[in-house]
Amino acid sequence: MAESNRRGEDAADDDRLDDETIDDAVDDDADEGEEPVSRGGTATRSRTKAESADSRPKAKSETQRVGFFGRIARFFREVVAELRKVIWPTRKELLTYTAVVVVFVAVMLTIVAGLDYGFAQGVLWVFGNPS
């Protein structure tokens, strides 16, 4: 019975392999004149003459330089735009996070204070307590 299940699984695996082989064969038949399709890799393509002509630097008369206050205003507009994208915590989440931080700090404070007291008593014991 176990072998019949295995054979069924192997058959299903073979079917998947056949599908992948067919898909690979279809991908290999792509026209050589087409541009490469980026699938998350680092594929690059060369620029055509039309694209390089459009990307030339513009003359000063075509672009106006933004003044100091204009740049400051743009900075604040961009800051506000980014703050609108932030997912702010709800009141309940905020209180929960605050409680976790306060408890963690209290535990760490207790550990450090205990170690400090222990080391202080150890130093006094080793070097003697004059009082």
Instruction: Collect all residues with Cβ–Cβ distance below 8 Å to 47 and sequence separation of at least 6.
Output: 55
Q: In this predicted structure, what is the pLDDT of residue 79?
A: 96
Domain map (residue ranges) of the chain? 89-131
| Mean pLDDT of the residues in the chain | 74
Q: Are 47 and 54 in contact (CB under 8 A)?
A: no
Q: In this predicted structure, what is the pLDDT of residue 128?
A: 82
What is the rounded distance in angstroms from the CA atom of residue 33 to the CA atom of residue 50? Answer: 18
Does residue 50 surpass a pLDDT of 80? no
Handedness of CA 84, 88, 91, 95 (dihedral sign): negative
Confidence of residue 54 (pLDDT cuts 50, 70, 90): low
Q: Are 27 and 35 in contact (CB under 8 A)?
A: no
* pLDDT per residue as tens digits for the range 1-46: 555 555 555 555 555 555 555 555 455 555 555 555 555 556 566 5
Instruction: Collect all residues with Cβ–Cβ distance below 8 Å to 66 and sequence separation of at least 6.
Output: 74
Q: In this predicted structure, what is the pLDDT of residue 58?
A: 59
